[in-house]
Structure 1
Amino acid sequence: MTHEAKDVLRDAHSLLRAARELLVDHRQALSDVHEALAPLRREAAREQLGSIPIARLKDVTDGRLRLGPLEEAGFTSVGDVLDATPYRLQLLPGIGPQTARQLHAAAGSLAEAAERSAGVRIDVDRRDEAMTPVVVALHRLVNAGPELPRAHAAADSVDGRLGPLVRDARPAGAWWRRVFARPSRRERAREAIGELAEALGQEEGRSTRLLLSQASVDLLRPHVSPDEAWIDFELRASDYQTLLAELAALGPEREAAEGFLPGDLAARVKAQPLDDGFRRVSLRGYQSFGARFALVQRRVILGDEMGLGKTIQAIAAIAHLRARGETRFLVACPASVLINWVREIETRSTISAHPLHGPGRGKALEKWAAEGGIAVTTLATLHTLDVPGDVKLGMFVVDEAHYAKNHETRRSRAVAHWCRRTNHVLFLTGTPMENRVEEFRSLVAHLRPEVAEKVRPSDAAMGAQAFRSAVAPVYLRRNQRDVLVELPEVVHVDELEEFSRADKAAYRDAVAEGNFMAMRRAAYAVPKKSAKLDRLRELVVEAAENDLKVVIFSYFRDVLATVQDAIGVAARGPISGDVPPARRQEIVDAFTAAPGHAVLLAQIQAGGVGLNLQAASVVIICEPQVKPTMETQAVARAHRMGQVRTVQVHRLLTPGGVDARMLEILQAKTRLFDEYARRSDLAERTPDAVDISEQALARRIVAEEQERLGT
């Protein structure tokens, strides 16, 4: 018994020490961030105080201070009072030493409050001695990876559970402690040893020791150089901004983040736990709320504006249900986003993804039914799924759910069938439902018919917030402008679109001819059957529904002409190399002045340089570019001073062809460009110095593709 007790105590001490060391390391990493934030908070607070009138000083002192002498002396803001010393204040007529001290102290208390509430954002264009330490400090936490929150929670749990047990079990570990302990103490020690052994077994099953060890190693890495930190920030800005929003308590207004739901419903949603055991991504506050809403209300529409992460919220809800014992889930989406769904599931969760699409659909369906996971199929093929009736579904997710609005279509009937088989149903759509009540009523009828019957056109007539309040049991929507503080300044989305049969045939012909330029635009060769064009149309329609302006870039004029025909709207442009500078500016001015949604077409080598396009908040790049500088400069046209919305950059890519090969080869060049061109005035004036030769790239890719396709 003594040896066994010693072994148990030794293992418990070891695990407890590892947990407490991780907690200390994590606190230190957080402390480093807050220390780096302090100067920026002070700076933001001082700027804020400069706009606060001195009348606010009366609020701090319950109106006891006379402010007339300050106003007569030209003081207008609290910042003016704070900048003056008490000695200078008492030199003013009508202000004695005591009043001067009180005035300065009141200004100081407002400054402290301003610092506590000051929001801080990372400005990629401001790489000075105040901003850079924040990025360096955040780098350590961001690069500790998605397992850090789990490791921290596990360390907290181990500390809380094992700490008291180790203390109670101490007499069992040495004969002299047993001798001097009271009988009741010895009995408790024996019980504690048993409880410790059980707890250690459970933690071993969860691989807790390995989880803690890896997290500690990551947190103890030395700080990287400023350049390396900034490069990493540019590659993963979303992760940095999300973490900063969490640590700096920077968030949107509570009601906006909660979609203006009634208070009692919002309280129930916030009380809902959200298990992250199968999730590998941190959520922003409003995203966590959205996932909880789906779990609490069970059958809902999540209508967040495009770019706010509806997919991640759906995955978070699924991960929670998986942790609670559900094993099978189904996602139905347009074919154009199926690959993106599979990729998001694989990178954002530890749940297996099963694409039910293409020739191997039958075997994939059998594997999913037998093993579980998340099946992803298209809305067009949903009706063909032959799933045994005894297969229980944990959640059914429909992306771009507005496609199921017409109950007479085969697609809508298939959606209705799966809704009946499932308790948890989540519809995703970026279309603002308050603008189309009949469509909303049709979708709700799939979920909760009794609620659909109560929806009236007059609900929408009262305004967006009134509509959302009226349909709160089934509908949650947040807009970018409401939750913008938690968003990165630029959201990059790679839209992976598999070749259609027609695309593939055109691509093979181009490869056989050794025509690199034809290979790059093969995805647009047959417009009526182009997968990329289908996705581009969807992006433009969704932007139109949300009143967003769109800029579409391509290297090729004929691709832009094809896009113009495909989107079916009066797009401005195209801006091309032969359009005189004055005319280019006229086109841009008309685009900027247009009310609401508008589309501008531009050749990337022409429209990507020298023009300000900050009216646009959606950028679509039709194909990857040979020179990394081209895409960077094109995005910079929209993401620049004066831009008030998050810029969404959608790059249309085809896996398995020239797009994928270009990206693989250019990846190393892009990193060099990040390290050199963005930090060198000379390099920015001559970006070709670090770009790969187009001829060399073309020869290499053509040869490799000819070999791969046997042409």
Structure 2
Amino acid sequence: MGRAERELVASGTRLNTAACDVVADHGRAVEAVRAALTPLHDAAAQRELDVLPVARLQDVTEGRLRLDHVEQSGLRTVGEVLAAGAYRLRQLPGVGRRTADQMLAAARSLSDAVHETVAVHIDVDRPEPGTTALVMALHTLVEAGPDAVRAVARATGTAKRLEPLLAAAGPATGRLRMLLAGREKKARALAAVTELRSLLADAERAGLSELFAQSSVDLLRGPSSDLAAWADFELRSAEYYGLLAEISEQRPDTAAAEGFLPDEIAERVRAQRLDDTHRRVSLRGYQAFGARFVLAQRKTILGDEMGLGKTIQAIAVLAHLAAEGQRHFVVVCPASVLVNWTREVAARSALRVTLLHGPDRHKAFADWKGRGGVAVTTFDALRGFPEPGSGEVGLFVVDEAHSVKNPKTKRSQAVARWAERCERTLFMTGTPMENRVVEFRNLVGMLHSGVAESLAEGDGASAGRDGALAGSVAFRKAVAPVYLRRNQQDVLTELPSLQRTDEWEELSASDEEAYREAVQAGNFPAMRRAAYQRPERSAKLERLREIVEEAAENGQKTLVFSYFKDVLRVVQDALADRVTLFGPLTGGVPAGRRQQIVDDFTAAPGPAVLLAQIQTAGVGLNMQAASVVVICEPQIKPTVEHQAVGRAHRMGQVRPVRVHRLLATGGVDERLVKMLENKTRLFDAYARRSAVAEATPDAVDVSDTDLARRIVEDEQARLGMADGRPAAEPA
């Protein structure tokens, strides 16, 4: 007893201090958010109360209050009643102490309800000191990321174990202390030393000291400026709002977040543990529930509405299974989202990802078989791979699963065979399949024959308006073991947010040929629109159709922007027989007619698509009717994109706006994005805060001609055709 034990206790004390520090640092960061949020939340609640008619007090008291004298006195809102207080209310004719007390009690009840439900909206277009303070406080936690949350959880558990062990091991740090200790204390000290040694060895293997130290640094490091925090918020608003909802404890209705599942299934899902060791993204509550549902139910359909993060939920499941020791996973999806899947898995998890596509796909398949990870492939390519053995694939994910609803197609048959051989299968689709029970039944049949049999062929549209099973409580109960769907309005607690997605597509062979011709000619505008020159084989056009059709299935309106008139004509032809079209809005359309087109688009019942030149419709027109925006190609001036998106994402928008920017890998789009992305954050943040910059966006953009020349020269060199031919001027 002595030196070795003293060093052991000292090491334990240092680890305990680091653990307590990271918990305290995280607590201070959370309190900073709450301190910034409270005045904004109170102000938002007050605004609600200031427009809430005093007549609503009748609702709280079931009509017992007489309010004639109150309204005649000029107190017209609940907020004014609260501000008046008991003394002033009793001065009103016909209002005694009892009535005044009842009025105030009813008003306070309404005030409490408003405070519970009102949400704070962070307006990027009108930054104020209060919202800036909130964004900066949130920025610290968003930047610290899931690692900090993980560190706090580990630190809390570590400190809880360490503190009693350090106290019990005290006598073992010196011979005299051990001599003076009683028999019972000596025994406890020796046992504590043994357990402490084991705990510290485990902590060293897990790198807890480094994790705690790095997390404390991250939690103490604030944004470099409010400009940087606002720019980051605009890029990652969903993460900020998710964190804000968690800290403010304003969560969606539990039943809605859990897809209105029966209690017995919901309880089983809640009990499912979710390991985040290999995950690099935080989950919202409903997303964590979705991942647990997939794990608990094993073979499922995740039907969340577009924009709720089905891909992130799938990655959370993959990460959990990898932590449990599973090594092989397969994702099958349309070719148009292959690149997105590989990028999302790589960015959101620590899992190895392998693309099984193109002429080398069989070689890549052999590599994946040997090394493991997530294999991402297409429906057509899947048919060429050998079906897995029992237990070989930890999770089989099928994205855009409505693509395999017809059991007679070869792709559906291949997916069905794989689903049968995999213990866990996840089908993903944003299409509300409960409106098409026959098709839905086919999908369910691949996963759970018993549930499929409970959905009779005639259910759905043929059942009549009153008896239709589709969308009813009976339908949800029947499919609950397999199917989970949540809608945006049910689970997003914040006011409308802006969600941006870069849709990276691989050019088809036909696209590639058109692109090479444009590069050979040194024609920069032709390079930018080459992906649409041969519509019958256009990868971008195929993805655009999918986005528009899914939005239409969900009853949403879509804006489609392009710089080029001929691209809009191609899109118009491709969508003509699929959705209701308006436009195109181009520079040749008179201003008055432009507004009429927008008005007609807004008034159109149900889903519709408005086509517009981005430089024409990007300013001066309000298009809040649309909640989905597609940008056909990246713009040379980032401000042009932001102004166009701002037509939909502005005051009056009632749904989150999702922006899809269509990009092709390996060519002009990728070079444009790379050259501009570093400038975009600060330029856009500046432009949003300066009236001068807003009026003259060219002041913060790089030279169009210089940019075009550099990209053409780079592409000619990459494709081995540099010949000194001058680049065509930008169109």
Asked if Structure 1 and Structure 2 have the same fold, meaning a TM-score greater than 0.5 normalized by the shorter chain, the answer is yes
Alignment match, 1:515 = 523
Alignment match, 1:220 = 220
Residue deviations 1:433-468 (CA, integer Å, cap 9, x gap): 111111101001100111111103446714524222
Does the 8 Å contact 2:586/2:617 carry over to 1? Answer: yes
CA distance in 2, matches of 1:117, 1:10: 49
- Seen in structure 2, the aligned counterparts of structure 1 residues 393 and 22 have a Cα distance that, compared at 3 Å, is same
Alignment match, 1:548 = 556
Cα deviation for residue 85 of structure 1 reads 3.8
2:642 to 632, 654, 662: 632
Residue ranges of structure 2 left out of the alignment (5+ in a row): 462-467, 722-731
CA distance in 1, matches of 2:68, 2:571: 66
Cα deviation for residue 501 of structure 1 reads 1.2
1:249 aligns with 2:259: no
Alignment match, 2:582 = 572
- Seen in structure 2, the aligned counterparts of structure 1 residues 572 and 72 have a Cα distance that, compared at 3 Å, is closer
- Seen in structure 2, the aligned counterparts of structure 1 residues 454 and 59 have a Cα distance that, compared at 3 Å, is closer
Alignment match, 2:430 = 430
- Seen in structure 2, the aligned counterparts of structure 1 residues 335 and 199 have a Cα distance that, compared at 3 Å, is same
Does 165-174 or 626-635 show the bigger shift?
165-174
Cα deviation for residue 520 of structure 1 reads 0.7
CA distance in 2, matches of 1:445, 1:79: 56
- Seen in structure 2, the aligned counterparts of structure 1 residues 129 and 116 have a Cα distance that, compared at 3 Å, is same
Cα deviation for residue 145 of structure 1 reads 2.5
Q: What SS does the corresponding residue of 2:380 show, helix, strand or coil?
A: coil
CA distance in 1, matches of 2:189, 2:58: 62
Does the 8 Å contact 1:487/1:646 carry over to 2? Answer: yes
Residue deviations 1:511-570 (CA, integer Å, cap 9, x gap): 111111111111112211111111111111111211111111111111111112223435
List aligned pairs for 1:189-200, cutoff 5 A: 189-200=189-200
1:600 aligns with 2:610: yes
CA distance in 2, matches of 1:668, 1:621: 20
- Seen in structure 2, the aligned counterparts of structure 1 residues 517 and 686 have a Cα distance that, compared at 3 Å, is same
Q: What SS does the corresponding residue of 1:146 show, helix, strand or coil?
A: helix
Q: What SS does the corresponding residue of 1:648 show, helix, strand or coil?
A: strand
CA distance in 1, matches of 2:164, 2:70: 60
List aligned pairs for 1:289-688, cutoff 5 A: 289-386=289-386, 389=389, 392-456=392-456, 457-458=458-459, 461-466=468-473, 467-485=475-493, 489-569=497-577, 571-688=581-698
Cα deviation for residue 163 of structure 1 reads 1.9
CA distance in 1, matches of 2:110, 2:584: 53
- Seen in structure 2, the aligned counterparts of structure 1 residues 545 and 93 have a Cα distance that, compared at 3 Å, is closer
Does the 8 Å contact 2:388/2:418 carry over to 1? Answer: no
Residue deviations 1:560-586 (CA, integer Å, cap 9, x gap): 111122234352211111111122122
TM-score (norm 1): 0.95
Residue deviations 1:464-512 (CA, integer Å, cap 9, x gap): 2422233211111112222232586111010000111111121111111
Residue deviations 1:160-207 (CA, integer Å, cap 9, x gap): 222222222121122333222211111111111111111111122221
Cα deviation for residue 260 of structure 1 reads 1.8
CA distance in 2, matches of 1:58, 1:588: 42
Cα deviation for residue 123 of structure 1 reads 2.1
Does the 8 Å contact 2:147/2:215 carry over to 1? Answer: yes
Cα deviation for residue 222 of structure 1 reads 4.2
Q: What SS does the corresponding residue of 1:144 show, helix, strand or coil?
A: helix
Task: Calculate percent identity across the aligned residue pairs.
Answer: 56
CA distance in 2, matches of 1:581, 1:523: 30
Q: Which amino acid aligns with 2:430?
A: G
Does the 8 Å contact 1:119/1:248 carry over to 2? Answer: no
Does the 8 Å contact 1:251/1:486 carry over to 2? Answer: no
Alignment match, 2:26 = 26
Does the 8 Å contact 2:586/2:612 carry over to 1? Answer: yes
1:170 aligns with 2:170: yes
CA distance in 2, matches of 1:398, 1:204: 40
CA distance in 1, matches of 2:172, 2:62: 62
CA distance in 1, matches of 2:619, 2:503: 24
Cα deviation for residue 95 of structure 1 reads 5.3
Does the 8 Å contact 2:306/2:550 carry over to 1? Answer: yes
Q: What SS does the corresponding residue of 1:121 show, helix, strand or coil?
A: coil
Cα deviation for residue 100 of structure 1 reads 5.8
Does 290-299 or 62-71 show the bigger shift?
62-71
Aligned length: 711
Does the 8 Å contact 1:395/1:424 carry over to 2? Answer: yes
CA distance in 2, matches of 1:571, 1:53: 41
- Seen in structure 2, the aligned counterparts of structure 1 residues 572 and 78 have a Cα distance that, compared at 3 Å, is closer
CA distance in 1, matches of 2:392, 2:349: 21
- Seen in structure 2, the aligned counterparts of structure 1 residues 378 and 64 have a Cα distance that, compared at 3 Å, is closer
CA distance in 1, matches of 2:491, 2:141: 23
Does 647-656 or 485-494 show the bigger shift?
485-494
Does 111-120 or 433-442 show the bigger shift?
111-120
- Seen in structure 2, the aligned counterparts of structure 1 residues 459 and 263 have a Cα distance that, compared at 3 Å, is farther
Cα deviation for residue 332 of structure 1 reads 0.6
- Seen in structure 2, the aligned counterparts of structure 1 residues 2 and 421 have a Cα distance that, compared at 3 Å, is farther
Q: What SS does the corresponding residue of 1:601 show, helix, strand or coil?
A: strand
Alignment match, 1:700 = 710
Q: Which amino acid aligns with 2:657?
A: V
CA distance in 2, matches of 1:104, 1:617: 41
Does the 8 Å contact 2:5/2:193 carry over to 1? Answer: yes
CA distance in 2, matches of 1:692, 1:452: 58
CA distance in 1, matches of 2:291, 2:390: 27
Cα deviation for residue 208 of structure 1 reads 1.3
Residue deviations 1:117-143 (CA, integer Å, cap 9, x gap): 432232223312222211111111111
Cα deviation for residue 69 of structure 1 reads 6.0
Q: What SS does the corresponding residue of 1:33 show, helix, strand or coil?
A: helix
Alignment match, 2:16 = 16
CA distance in 2, matches of 1:621, 1:472: 37
- Seen in structure 2, the aligned counterparts of structure 1 residues 213 and 354 have a Cα distance that, compared at 3 Å, is same
CA distance in 1, matches of 2:494, 2:268: 23
Q: What SS does the corresponding residue of 2:407 show, helix, strand or coil?
A: coil
CA distance in 2, matches of 1:236, 1:28: 22
Residue deviations 1:611-645 (CA, integer Å, cap 9, x gap): 11111111111100111111111111111222111
Does the 8 Å contact 1:345/1:353 carry over to 2? Answer: yes
TM-score (norm 2): 0.92
- Seen in structure 2, the aligned counterparts of structure 1 residues 539 and 549 have a Cα distance that, compared at 3 Å, is same
CA distance in 2, matches of 1:468, 1:254: 16
